[in-house]
A and B are shown apart, each in its own frame.
Chain A
Amino acid sequence: MPKNWKAIAAALNVEIPDSDMEKIQVSLDSLDQALRPLLKNLPHETEPAVIFQCQPKEN
């Protein structure tokens, strides 16, 4: 079911004029729908590819 992107924008306090919102809704819906099925088989323990690394204290 398509998301209500206008309501999401309002909830996030992101100001996007209606005319601009109309242009992006289809693209957002298709991306959202393309991503969701990919998550079904993603192993629970898979970590994101972005890593934060602590550096040891330099003497």
Chain B
Amino acid sequence: MTIQEAAAALRAHKVSSLELTSAALDRTARLDPKLKAFITVMDESARSRARQADAELSRGVDLGSLHGIPVAVKDVFSTRGVRTTCGSKLFADHVPDQDAAVVERLESAGAVLIGKTNMHELAYGITSSNPHFGAVRNPWDLQRIPGGSSGGSGAAVAADLVFMAMGSDTGGSIRIPASFCGTVGLKPTFGRVSRYGVLPLDFSLDHMGPLTRSVRDAALVLNALAGFDPRDETCSRQATQDYCPAVHVSVRNIRIGLPENFYFDQADPTVTAAVRQMAKTTQSLGAQVLPARVPDIAALNTVGRVILLSEASALMERYLHQRQDFGADVLALLDQGRLLPATHYVNAQRLRRAMKEEFQSLWKQVDCIFVPTTPTSAPKIGQATIRFGDREEDARLASTRLVRGINVLGLPALSMPCGWDSLGLPLGLQIIGAPFQEALILRVGAALEDAIGVTQRVPTGIA
């Protein structure tokens, strides 16, 4: 069931918020010992909030589509009075005295928060094999990673524990779990959603966005979250709009670019075929599909890595004398950032500005581009490398290769399921647009979803 369907059922009195919430909590209690998708479950407060939502709706107080809907947030979002660990031993007992802006807005929209999802330690990695709170498992195959760093959010949505879970994305951390878990994941434009109250990984690359079961659900959540927040200096004053696509949305004459360089060069043929098939489908719906050449994405990834290593290490340096409190992979990244010269960081930020200008010309030719989200389906837990033909690539670098650069430019990007590989694992299509063009990429995604349908497949790992 999607948020839209649940919201309709609530208003038709076919179900109550308490029933939806109890079902979510019961299913979480049953499946989470296997999945490890949650760090904290808020059973009592969730049931109380659900009762309140039912009372409000019965009085005619309707806060919109999220009212009474059980959701979760990644454990980077501060929650007043509820511990917020960032998946780290350092913050295992950290109890904030205020809510993150995202949590405030979800509450204002009437959503019922049932818990805080597990994640890669400090949001710094893609496996979500957390050494302190357990390895999150992929609901499609429990021996595989769900992706990360918002792995618990991806697993929780895919396993039908919640209708929506919030993630954060610094180098693909919403889109990678969306791809590996077969959910929708939306990374809005940098500045579109407030970062206030989020434990940061990287000051200039962190983005906040939802993982959901359908594109329109992601749009509904963005409707609740988008907008200026004076408490976040990077938050944009750009006007918001209704992001939810119409019922029979048209993509006629939208120009979709299929990159001729980089994105399709080193990826599983099943993945590239699925993405190309999606392009064909949009063409049959009236969109124009055009070949496109993108600027140097490998260079953009290099710039992103230098910025992330430098900023994350600057942020965490005060804790690095407690080496025993970090997982080995995160420690290795933090050590690297401490050794990069300051000149590299400044020059990376200069390159970032130059590359932003290069990308502007792309948006004169096309409205969005279609590329794979990840070059493969989910790797196995503990898998260090991925083979592409005769070349082997580090699994972390391979999984972030097609998503990282987009954070450097702050562009909006949507990942949605686009097929299945021979193992029955989901594959992800990434739709990337120009700054603040969330409505356009959601429109294209919704049109595709109308054509191919919201997936009804049940994850095989927990069936």
Main secondary structure of the interface of B (DSSP, over half): helix
Partner of B347, one of A21, A27, A39, A43: A39
Partner of B339, one of A8, A38, A39, A49: A8
The 4 A-B pairs at the shortest CB distance, nearest first, are namely A48-B349, A49-B352, A34-B302, A49-B353
Cβ contacts under 8 Å, A23 to chain B: 332
- Report B237 CB to chain A, min CB distance, Å: 14
* B356–A49 CB distance below 8 A: yes
Contact surface of B with A, Cβ cutoff 8 Å: 204, 298-299, 302-303, 305-306, 309, 331-332, 335-336, 338-340, 344, 346-354, 356
Considering only residues 8-58 of chain A, those with a C-beta below 8 Å from chain B are: 8-9, 12, 14, 16, 20-21, 23-24, 27-28, 31-32, 34-35, 38-39, 42-43, 46-50
Cβ contacts under 8 Å, A9 to chain B: 338-339
* B354–A16 CB distance below 8 A: no
* B339–A46 CB distance below 8 A: no
* B354–A46 CB distance below 8 A: yes
Cβ contacts under 8 Å, B299 to chain A: 34, 38
- Report B350 CB to chain A, min CB distance, Å: 5
* A16–B335 CB distance below 8 A: yes
Partner of A50, one of B335, B340, B349: B349
* A20–B331 CB distance below 8 A: yes
Highest count of chain A CB atoms <10 Å: which of B299, B335, B356: B335
- Given A31-B305, A38-B299, A46-B354, A24 and B332 touching (CB < 8 A)? yes
27 residue pairs bridging A and B, Cβ less than 8 Å apart: A9-B338, A14-B338, A20-B331, A20-B332, A24-B332, A24-B335, A24-B336, A27-B332, A27-B336, A28-B339, A28-B340, A31-B309, A31-B336, A32-B344, A34-B298, A34-B299, A34-B302, A35-B302, A35-B347, A35-B348, A38-B303, A39-B347, A42-B350, A42-B351, A49-B352, A49-B356, A50-B349
* B339–A14 CB distance below 8 A: yes
CA distance A28 to B354 in the complex (A): 24
* B354–A42 CB distance below 8 A: yes
Main secondary structure of the interface of A (DSSP, over half): helix
Cβ contacts under 8 Å, A47 to chain B: 350, 353
* A38–B351 CB distance below 8 A: yes
* A31–B306 CB distance below 8 A: yes
* B354–A43 CB distance below 8 A: yes
CA distance A23 to B334 in the complex (A): 12
Cβ contacts under 8 Å, A14 to chain B: 335, 338-339
- Report A6 CB to chain B, min CB distance, Å: 10
CA distance A38 to B304 in the complex (A): 13
* A31–B302 CB distance below 8 A: yes
CA distance A38 to B350 in the complex (A): 11
- Report B397 CB to chain A, min CB distance, Å: 9
Cβ contacts under 8 Å, B348 to chain A: 35
Cβ contacts under 8 Å, A48 to chain B: 346, 349-350, 352-353
* B349–A49 CB distance below 8 A: yes
- Given A9-B339, A20-B335, A27-B336, A46 and B350 touching (CB < 8 A)? yes
Cβ contacts under 8 Å, A16 to chain B: 335, 338
CA distance A48 to B307 in the complex (A): 11
CA distance A5 to B335 in the complex (A): 11
CA distance A38 to B307 in the complex (A): 14
Cβ contacts under 8 Å, A20 to chain B: 331-332, 335
Cβ contacts under 8 Å, B331 to chain A: 20
Partner of A49, one of B204, B336, B344: B204
* A12–B351 CB distance below 8 A: no
Residue of A nearest to B203 (CB): A50
Residue of B nearest to A27 (CB): B336
Residue of A nearest to B302 (CB): A34
- Report A54 CB to chain B, min CB distance, Å: 13
- Report A32 CB to chain B, min CB distance, Å: 8
Residue of A nearest to B305 (CB): A31
* A42–B338 CB distance below 8 A: no
- Given A46-B350, A47-B350, A35 and B344 touching (CB < 8 A)? yes
- Given A16-B335, A20-B332, A28-B336, A50 and B204 touching (CB < 8 A)? yes
CA distance A39 to B233 in the complex (A): 29
CA distance A21 to B329 in the complex (A): 12
* B353–A46 CB distance below 8 A: yes
CA distance A49 to B335 in the complex (A): 24
Cβ contacts under 8 Å, A42 to chain B: 347, 350-351, 354
Cβ contacts under 8 Å, A43 to chain B: 354
Cβ contacts under 8 Å, B332 to chain A: 20, 23-24, 27
Cβ contacts under 8 Å, A24 to chain B: 332, 335-336, 339
